[in-house]
Amino acid sequence: MSEWIIKPSYKLDLACFCNLFYKADMVIDKHREAYGIFKDRIDMRNDLVEFSKGMLAEGYMIGVAMASLLDLIDYNGGDIDEICSIMDDESTRPILDEFITKSGYTEDLREKVLALLPIMSDMLHYVHSMGFFEYWHDECIDHIKKKCDEFTLLADRYPVVSTVNDILGIHGDRKPPVTLYVCRFSAPYGIGLTNAFISDVRWNFEDTVAIALHELIHPPFKRGTIREMADGIWKDGFFRKAKGLLEASSGYGKPEDFLEENLVEGTHIYLSEEMGVEKNPLKYLAEHDSGSHVISAILYDALKKGYGDKAGSIEEVVWKLIEEGPLKPGKIEENYLKIYNEAGLLGLCPKPLTEGDKQ
């Protein structure tokens, strides 16, 4: 039985396109042609631009947030009223409440989400009606379908769901298959959904396998536990310095979000190497997201050394690393630099991490 379902999704591409409204260079650079076509219409709704920038300042990417909500309903067609029913229809509130509860979010966030639903619906309706629906069907869908067919022929080589379940231990309870939505406007992000994820049409399948592993790992264990770990690890000045390398548009604004991304990245890069889709893990970590994932390198190194064989889950591996020193506040820089120095790759690391703050 295949562990994959691969298909397009207009509603999710519609959500992904909305990331262009916060006008971050790292997003615009991936979608120059479409941004040029729609820039004037985006600028006509400065209220939505400011809303998107405000969300980003709080650590939430508008397209990612809306894709997560739209994924809660099964409808995958092009009728905008059906697409926005999760935001507009009061009868869908139990679905939304269940999602928020299972995700471990707070009651304050639930109230904030409810307050934002009308704005999100307005934004999706506006983008749909400003010509995006026609553009997507005329310029995007044929390429996406071709990519889906290409990916389907390769998918069975990569049992991503069972691989992730094995390494997460008791937390690994996803059921195959996982749904891959191939979209035109998700770059530069991979987006995890409920037993599904979004990848961009421009990536090859090996990159998409790595994205699948990454998104299926989120969260590697309960977010409350991640927040507890972050409270301690955030005391480490080197970890704080590493976070400072990130652009605001990365979306990892809070310490616990940044730590979670580090833990997921370290686990996914280990599995990607094991699955044969990543040839240079330490080089990747030194270059990806401005080289900010210092915890990832330490976790990857520990998994290579068999820490996962001695523990029942990634959570237990991380606690072990905290207790034994590699992730203990005050020890992270020493262990990070040692890993790269012994691999002969110290020169790949960002200078702010290897040479301090010297100009």
To the nearest whole percent, how much of the chain has pLDDT over 70?
A: 94
192 vs 30: CA distance, rounded Å: 19
The amino acid occupying position 120 is M
On whether both 94 and 129 belong to a single domain, the answer is yes
48 vs 327: CA distance, rounded Å: 41
124 vs 358: CA distance, rounded Å: 46
Q: How confident is the model at residue 52 (pLDDT cuts 50, 70, 90)?
A: very high
On whether both 204 and 270 belong to a single domain, the answer is no
Q: Which helix (H) or strand (E) holds 252?
A: none
Q: Which of 188, 215, 242 is the last residue of a domain?
A: 215
On whether both 197 and 157 belong to a single domain, the answer is yes
Please give the pLDDT value at position 105: 62
Which of the listed ranges 112-116, 121-125, 322-326 does the model predict with the highest average pLDDT?
121-125
348 vs 52: CA distance, rounded Å: 34
Number of structural domains (the chain) is 2
Compute the average pLDDT of residues 273-299. Answer: 95
On whether both 205 and 262 belong to a single domain, the answer is no
Q: Which residue has the tokens 């650079």?
A: 29
- Beta bridge partners of residue 183, listed in sequence order: 200
321 vs 297: CA distance, rounded Å: 12
Q: Which of 166, 196, 215 is the last residue of a domain?
A: 215
Compute the average pLDDT of residues 316-332. Answer: 94
Which backbone phi and psi does 197 adopt, to 5 degrees? -155, 165
On whether both 24 and 127 belong to a single domain, the answer is yes
Model pLDDT for residues 182-202, shown as the tens digit of each residue? 999 999 988 989 889 999 999
On whether both 150 and 266 belong to a single domain, the answer is no
Predicted model pTM? 0.85
Compute the average pLDDT of residues 217-227. Answer: 91
Position 170 in a domain: yes
On whether both 294 and 341 belong to a single domain, the answer is yes
Domain enclosing residue 196, as ranges: 4-215
Position 76 in a domain: yes
181 vs 179: CA distance, rounded Å: 6
On whether both 158 and 206 belong to a single domain, the answer is yes
Q: Which of 215, 231, 255 is the last residue of a domain?
A: 215
Taking all residues of the chain, what is their mean pLDDT, rounded to a whole number? 91
Compute the average pLDDT of residues 132-147. Answer: 98
What is the number of other CB atoms lying within 10 angstroms of the CB of residue 89? Answer: 13
On whether both 211 and 266 belong to a single domain, the answer is no
Q: How confident is the model at residue 358 (pLDDT cuts 50, 70, 90)?
A: very low
Position 359 in a domain: no
On whether both 161 and 246 belong to a single domain, the answer is no
Q: Which residue has the tokens 């679905």?
A: 95
What is the number of other CB atoms lying within 10 angstroms of the CB of residue 42? Answer: 20
Compute the average pLDDT of residues 210-233. Answer: 92
